[in-house]
Structure 1
């Protein structure tokens, strides 16, 4: 849409930057970044399937979103991304309710207990890799037909740990590095189907576990470029951009919302 001079209008720019009218699936949506993504998408006018392993947690999110004065809606589905039958049921429920899917946000994950790699037991390794990397594979392939049918966008949550490799976080670092590599692979394979695949690599974000780790009592304000700790909704804004048509020429990329450049050392707070 343009005015008589050929310049794009404010309305057309806003439309490109919106996910209104889209159907989205967000994994790991019960708290933190995933919940912020669900809130952002629903507020923008999308229908969002919110899922996590715990039904009560994700149902409370859906109830709150559906009770808010926002144009979108939320559907709660219990799903364990490490269980392929559970993931297949998620895809089936989404298609049955909405007829398809336009946007997929693979956010489910967890750092595990940590420790030096040589002390990590095999089940500890498997658990972290399963939820952070194999879970992305499980969910993405379950929705592959629906996404490739009409085009769409996938956004994966990686981590700066995957870029730097963090001592004491070997399984998590390796899994998140794999997410970034998988993002590039899928972007190359699905470009012909008009599916864009990107990722975000957040730095320190004031999710409940990080706030506990750093001793933060409150989520920081959205002020100051020198902050070393971000907000979940700031990551959600980056994900919304990548999911929207404003990022129509962006695929296979991993962007890093981190504040000032750093090497993943714990910040002074």
Structure 2
């Protein structure tokens, strides 16, 4: 006996699982997970506004993808997510170009301050908190009106470090824990306005810095299940799901693309 819901068709399933026709904003999009999200979204048919602190970096991404045979369009904007004037300009440019915002992916961030917490100076602490946590706040509030106008989805990039609290990564762990808590808070506050807010908690992902740290020459194969290192596009696929209508009953959640369960202990190279 079928469930009491719309009868499924191949077309309806594909549409619900797609971000085609949506306008998305992806921060920290010049490389790694942010770039993979951008590539995935435009291939699916979304228009994507991308930003990083250096215009040339996002210009290169936009030039490559806008010249490719993909249905989506990329608009590059220089923006430092810790600068509220920059963030307001990013929001204005997005609305001016596309008129609406359906999806916001807060991906900009970075780790610093390796070592025990008592060895981390105040400047480093402030910088890590500012780019990872305050930056997420800055961008989300700048796009609040646009997102709440017709409903939408926010996906924040957190980290397993924010779940477990990793020795030697105090500022980063604290910042990403804050992102997880902020995700749950916003999900509750914005649900009545049809905005879903979720996060991803990636494990070890083969971004350029991680590949260098672990001495990896090749990107891991997606066909292998028993591995501890994932690819940026595997995280992008998870973000695409959370941004799509297929995740209509998912909000306030933190999804962990980690491969085998672990506690963020570095894998053996």
**TM-score band w.r.t. shorter chain:** over 0.9
- Equivalent in the alignment of 1:200: 200
- Equivalent in the alignment of 2:111: 111
Equivalent position SS for 2:204? coil
Instruction: Please give the alpha-carbon distance, in whole angstroms, between the structure 2 residues aligned to 1:184 and 1:263.
Output: 21
Instruction: Please give the alpha-carbon distance, in whole angstroms, between the structure 2 residues aligned to 1:70 and 1:136.
Output: 29
Structure 2, unpaired ranges of 5+? 1-5
- Equivalent in the alignment of 2:11: 11
> Which region of structure 1 is more displaced relative to structure 2, 105-114 or 193-202?
105-114
Instruction: Please give the alpha-carbon distance, in whole angstroms, between the structure 2 residues aligned to 1:263 and 1:182.
Output: 22
Instruction: Please give the alpha-carbon distance, in whole angstroms, between the structure 1 residues aligned to 2:51 and 2:148.
Output: 22
Instruction: Please give the alpha-carbon distance, in whole angstroms, between the structure 1 residues aligned to 2:127 and 2:54.
Output: 17
Q: CA RMSD in A?
A: 1.0
Instruction: Please give the alpha-carbon distance, in whole angstroms, between the structure 2 residues aligned to 1:49 and 1:231.
Output: 22
Question: Conserved in 1, the CA contact under 8 Å of 2:204 and 2:229?
Answer: yes
Once the two structures are TM-superposed, the CA of residue 113 in structure 1 deviates from its matched residue by 3.5
Q: Confirm whether residue 127 of structure 1 aligns to residue 140 of structure 2.
A: no
Equivalent position SS for 2:77? strand
Alignment of 1:64-213 (within 5 A): 64-213=64-213
Instruction: Please give the alpha-carbon distance, in whole angstroms, between the structure 1 residues aligned to 2:147 and 2:17.
Output: 20
Q: Confirm whether residue 37 of structure 1 aligns to residue 32 of structure 2.
A: no
Instruction: Please give the alpha-carbon distance, in whole angstroms, between the structure 2 residues aligned to 1:100 and 1:71.
Output: 18
- Equivalent in the alignment of 1:236: 236
Instruction: Please give the alpha-carbon distance, in whole angstroms, between the structure 2 residues aligned to 1:25 and 1:84.
Output: 16
Question: Conserved in 1, the CA contact under 8 Å of 2:101 and 2:147?
Answer: yes
Q: Number of aligned residue pairs: give it.
A: 265
- Which 4+ stretches in 1 moved above 2 angstroms? none
Equivalent position SS for 2:111? coil
- Equivalent in the alignment of 2:215: 215
- Equivalent in the alignment of 1:47: 47
Deviation sequence 1:112-170 (CA, Å, 0-9, x none): 13111001000000000000000000000000000001000000000000001011100
- When normalised by structure 1's length, the TM-score is 0.97
Equivalent position SS for 1:221? coil
Question: Conserved in 1, the CA contact under 8 Å of 2:113 and 2:171?
Answer: no
Structure 1, unpaired ranges of 5+? 1-5
Question: Conserved in 1, the CA contact under 8 Å of 2:202 and 2:256?
Answer: yes
Instruction: Please give the alpha-carbon distance, in whole angstroms, between the structure 2 residues aligned to 1:7 and 1:19.
Output: 21
Instruction: Please give the alpha-carbon distance, in whole angstroms, between the structure 1 residues aligned to 2:245 and 2:114.
Output: 38
Once the two structures are TM-superposed, the CA of residue 230 in structure 1 deviates from its matched residue by 0.1
Question: Conserved in 1, the CA contact under 8 Å of 2:113 and 2:125?
Answer: no
Once the two structures are TM-superposed, the CA of residue 7 in structure 1 deviates from its matched residue by 3.1
Instruction: Please give the alpha-carbon distance, in whole angstroms, between the structure 2 residues aligned to 1:119 and 1:251.
Output: 37
